[in-house]
Chain A
């Protein structure tokens, strides 16, 4: 997030797009409720009529994968009415003219045709957002898990810059990170192209710096992404995969393909706290310890680094993951000799400029938001205050592109996926929690009562859902939350695995699969 969670409650307008905040980020939703009480305008754009939609000033239901068109349409109206922040545009940004030119053709009429949103709603959103003193954008995987994920994010950045809603309190472009430490995993260089702190692996200075601190030769070749690694296992160019605390068998699109790839591995190492479907395919399974059994830090969605503290001894014969990694490294002949997570954080601070001022001692209390470049620095509440990282903020002119896959006579329904409130990701943890599991013990398919009537399906009926990649069985829930022609499934359940159906088509830049859009057929199970 460019801004902090607490700032949301003082925002004059909040635009939530592609985030089912009450289910996936309940304590962010709390701030949105408070802002609303204080008089903020709330705009919600989501193909499903989520809980937040019920309290929105404007709720719109865009067709799947049409976000760029919607955002261009909003910008068209803002420019048409002169609601843009001309001062901010001139002082802080470049490339404005190209965007102005691009959105000229995105009239409410045209955008309404693409998105299915009434013209007057597009104008209303533009007015509420464009005329607010401070406006915040909140988004989640509904924006990023598309072949146009990067385009979607850039479009939101365009909208924020156009209206001067960046670098100020209670504004910003605020992605809600799906998993608790995604932010930290990225910050720590869990990415094929960067060392910790987003330092590019293919820049000689960075390579030299890490070679000298780590005392070994390093590769300047950008590595492979998850999907590329799976492809590599299938074609034999990758021989081994070491998976720590992830479950690609449920989280990745096109499960049949993932299974084939994992089975082709000469060596599959899985380190986890539960025996996941991915672990079932492993050659060796290493039991790690949960967050309650070790010290460390997590970095939340607002870049706040916070302490994790050991409450109990590791369960059974499990071991904290850092100890396991260290043991393996030492056996491979690369020596690691940390006596505690704190010693590791010291090294992190040494090599990562944005974490340089972070120590366990300073994290007592509220934690610290990076960038925190030295030990006297108080941390950073919101980013881009006086300048962007690159100097001026760059506008990107972007055209709408349709999703990779479309409905047809054989697969007439659009399927989208997401989370439900009591469960989390692939269910590994929540389904092992009796209280949570008993709330919602099984998966389901949400379908509009009108569509269900046509297919002769009643509430609770068992149905078969098939896509061009796979077929699963599940129960139905009849609900107006989805409009006709759209169905929804949560992806937490291995018995009715939504990702057996989803499309692995990737965003060309971010390599994010289009988990949020595919075409399916629904039939009453025999």
Chain B
């Protein structure tokens, strides 16, 4: 049996509670609140206690999907990425970078948010980037 824990930060609300995810043989089995966290001092709310459930939900998306003749079909990463990039490039070349918009995520990490706005600004040349914090 391979047991390990990972100290991390809750993905739900802006409190940012810290907890350990307990991992047994590659599966998260439980959550332990971090007692030394200055934010939650060993406590969690009901969402934090159950945070691992959605991660391993059978409903997770596990393969890229491409719409073909109106219906979704599973695709390889190469196919999905090539399609996305070539369509973006075509639209940029024909109508300019400002005809593309980006919606960033308040659930993604800082690093991912940084890269996403860099993609918009540096690769597409547009400042059309926003997120749903107003909502």
Interface residues of A (CB under 8 A from B): 5-6, 24-28, 30, 144-145, 176-193, 195-196, 201, 210, 214, 216-219, 221-226, 229, 232-233, 237-246, 248, 251-252, 266-267, 269, 272-275, 279, 282-288, 290-294, 296-302, 304-313, 315-322, 324-329, 331-334, 336, 338, 341, 344-345, 347-348, 365-366, 421-422, 424, 429-430, 432-436, 439, 510-513, 515
Contact = CB atoms under 8 A, between A and B. Distances in A.
18 contacts: A6-B38, A192-B129, A224-B101, A226-B132, A229-B101, A242-B103, A266-B91, A274-B61, A299-B16, A302-B16, A312-B21, A312-B28, A331-B81, A332-B92, A365-B36, A429-B12, A434-B53, A435-B53
Contact of B131 (A6, A24, A191, A272): A191
Contacts of B125: 216-219
A195 B37 CA distance: 31
A192 to B, nearest CB: 5
- Interface-central residue, B44, B66, B75, B112, by most chain A CB under 10 Å: B112
Contacts of B63: 287, 316-317
Interface of B: 4-18, 21, 23, 26-28, 36-40, 43-47, 50-57, 59-67, 72, 75, 77, 80-89, 91-92, 95, 97-135
A286 B60 contact: no
- Specify the main secondary structure of chain B where it touches its partner: mixed
The 4 lowest CB-CB distance pairs between A and B, nearest first, are A316-B62, A300-B16, A296-B109, A245-B105
Given A223-B126, A274-B60, A24 B105 contact: no
- Interface-central residue, A216, A300, A513, by most chain B CB under 10 Å: A300
A300 B116 CA distance: 20
A275 B127 contact: no
B14 A25 contact: yes
B8 A291 contact: yes
Contact of A188 (B60, B100, B110, B128): B110
B41 to A, nearest CB: 8
Given A221-B127, A251-B132, A429-B12, A332 B101 contact: no
A365 B39 CA distance: 12
Contacts of B18: 306
Nearest to A365: B36
Contact of A436 (B27, B36, B53, B106): B53
A307 B118 contact: no
Given A246-B105, A287-B63, 16 more contacts: A181-B109, A181-B113, A201-B127, A244-B102, A273-B61, A274-B61, A286-B81, A290-B60, A304-B39, A306-B16, A308-B9, A310-B6, A315-B56, A318-B60, A322-B112, A334-B123
B104 A284 contact: no
A329 B13 CA distance: 30
A298 B16 contact: yes
Given A180-B14, A332-B124, A348 B91 contact: no
A113 B87 CA distance: 57
B9 A192 contact: no
Contacts of A284: 64-67, 75, 80, 83-84
A223 B14 contact: no
Contacts of A27: 15, 17, 39-40, 43-45
A344 B97 CA distance: 24
A316 B107 CA distance: 20
Nearest to A325: B115
A311 B37 contact: no
B62 A319 contact: no
A510 B135 CA distance: 12
A66 to B, nearest CB: 21
A191 B120 CA distance: 11
B32 to A, nearest CB: 12
Contacts of A181: 105-110, 113
B119 A328 contact: yes
A237 B99 contact: yes
A272 B61 contact: yes
A509 to B, nearest CB: 11
A242 B83 CA distance: 13
B57 A190 contact: no
Contacts of B60: 273-274, 287, 290, 315-316, 318, 432
Nearest to B44: A27
B110 A510 contact: no
Nearest to B86: A331
